[in-house]
Structure 1
């Protein structure tokens, strides 16, 4: 593939350089000149497009607090992808040579895919015991994740209850123990929702409410039309004890969110999610043959009012 995936015709992107005072296309709510305008002039709206791992990458970047997954690299030794690393590092090479790449990092680049590929390239040649705080312009390469990963292989994230995996083996020193305690004190209980046809769905307890967040890979207009039809049919909820709360956009994908009964165990939402997946697939299949009715268009407008955009 080489540099092919960097061709502007093959990826979703927005340029704001013509008007630096406009809102940044990344969705931060800031003006372009004080956000991504300080870096690249191209914002890749859907950086993980074309990868089977796309919904998992979005989840690990945006709302999985403590998770790891084997990264399906095409060549080289094993690599572990992590939701967040100590110090929000972009990459760490442990003393034993294990390579870890972080998803939740500080960046001013317009293309997360390029940043992650750059962190991986750095780790391949770094000395054991090294860490990369951030992927700066000097670390970005011509490659993107699409160039270095197996495109048809999804991730299998392991969601952890805490951050003890940061320091494998032995007793942490006092400084490391304090770091772990700080990180663990703000973690929100999170578990994957499993069921037939269910992927990229996660239950999370925020302390006051419990939610199911589901990363969908359909394009936004199609998905919102399908959700509007389900809403008009009374089929938008996951089941008893749930309420559709809205959705957010993250890295080109839509993530519907449901409030769910906090007293229910996370595993109890697997079967209702599988049933919802069946209903949604049926509606998606029929959209081309039957356009939205007037009432369904109104339902879509209501759902659109419940959307927010994350960076």
Structure 2
């Protein structure tokens, strides 16, 4: 009787590096091969690449409950435009009665290119505002060919403000009317969060029984994992005493390392240690020496401690 083949099974990988059997990174819940991996499908793995404060945009979409940033839009410099992490009723964009235009990060479009989708609703909201109209703007189908955020935003960097809750939803409204209950509910659900000032895109948050530092980083995955592995082997990956590096999120083409920090640490106590860690990370990134077996093993362990959220 012939022996069964013992050749290891291989998993097909699409040209963009995504396993067709895995959930589509767009968040639809479908397998990639039945969603944006199907014939004619388009998925942009790093939709905010080239935008100012790319890492912060990823954080506002995936990690930060409540934050805002003013935007300057090409050809519409006289219209006050505000980017928000989450808008009322999870609206993609809004033309406000005050004349402001808002565009939201945390929306549930699944058409493959978040940047193009956000640009489409932003352009429509701007048209509403300039016509003296107001209301919510969204998408019910994939946007027609048109600009991406990269074609619209003229800021060199974003001035991000993290809020304790969502009172900014009604900052331009005189009569809150029935909004009070919804606002109260939203505020109760927002976890305390603060952005570190000394490094880019690092956010402290408290869940009550735990505190975390979540830090979106711009480097390519392979080089960042190797640098983090070098720091781990040398014991330099602990941000503050008794902190613990627990793994990484992968979102929109970038990695976001996560640390558990002792309860009561707060954001101010993380500022200097985070700056020192960045210096050590930069040094590790610049190390082009052959990694030791211990470093390679650590890198493999880190690769297994990733969770893809987009």
Q: State whether TM-score is above 0.5.
A: yes
The interval holding the TM-score normalised by the smaller chain is 0.7 to 0.9
CA shift, 1:136, in A, is: 3.2
Classify the secondary structure of the residue corresponding to 1:301: helix
CA, structure 1 residues 259+61, in 2 after alignment: closer, same or farther (shift >3 Å)?
Answer: same
CA shift, 1:261, in A, is: 1.3
Partner of 2:10: none
Classify the secondary structure of the residue corresponding to 2:43: strand
Alignment of 1:9-158 (within 5 A): 14=16, 22-26=21-25, 28=27, 30-32=30-32, 36=36, 41-76=41-76, 77-126=79-128, 127-132=132-137, 134-137=138-141, 139-150=143-154, 153-158=156-161
CA shift, 1:34, in A, is: 6.1
Quote the Cα distance in structure 2 between the aligned partners of 1:255 and 1:266.
17
Number of aligned residue pairs: give it: 289
Quote the Cα distance in structure 2 between the aligned partners of 1:37 and 1:307.
22
Q: Which has the larger radius of gyration?
A: 2
Partner of 1:229: 230
Between 1:276-285 and 1:21-30, the stretch displaced more is: 21-30
CA shift, 1:171, in A, is: 4.6
Residues 39 and 110 of structure 1 are in contact (CA less than 8 Å); yes or no, is this contact kept in structure 2? Answer: no
CA, structure 1 residues 223+71, in 2 after alignment: closer, same or farther (shift >3 Å)?
Answer: same
Give the TM-score taking structure 1 as reference length.
0.86
Quote the Cα distance in structure 2 between the aligned partners of 1:72 and 1:78.
8
CA shift, 1:262, in A, is: 1.5
Partner of 1:9: none
Partner of 1:3: none
CA shift, 1:137, in A, is: 3.0
Quote the Cα distance in structure 2 between the aligned partners of 1:147 and 1:224.
31
Residues 204 and 266 of structure 2 are in contact (CA less than 8 Å); yes or no, is this contact kept in structure 1? Answer: no
Partner of 1:202: 203
Between 1:200-209 and 1:65-74, the stretch displaced more is: 65-74
CA, structure 1 residues 295+43, in 2 after alignment: closer, same or farther (shift >3 Å)?
Answer: same
Residues 24 and 30 of structure 2 are in contact (CA less than 8 Å); yes or no, is this contact kept in structure 1? Answer: no
Alignment of 1:146-225 (within 5 A): 146-150=150-154, 153-168=156-171, 169-173=173-177, 175-195=178-198, 198-225=199-226
Classify the secondary structure of the residue corresponding to 1:44: coil
Partner of 2:11: none
Quote the Cα distance in structure 2 between the aligned partners of 1:253 and 1:163.
27
Quote the Cα distance in structure 2 between the aligned partners of 1:291 and 1:24.
35
What CA deviation, in whole Å up to 9, does each residue of 1:263-303 have, x standing for no partner?
122111010000000000011111x2x02111100000111
Quote the Cα distance in structure 2 between the aligned partners of 1:56 and 1:237.
23
Classify the secondary structure of the residue corresponding to 1:246: strand
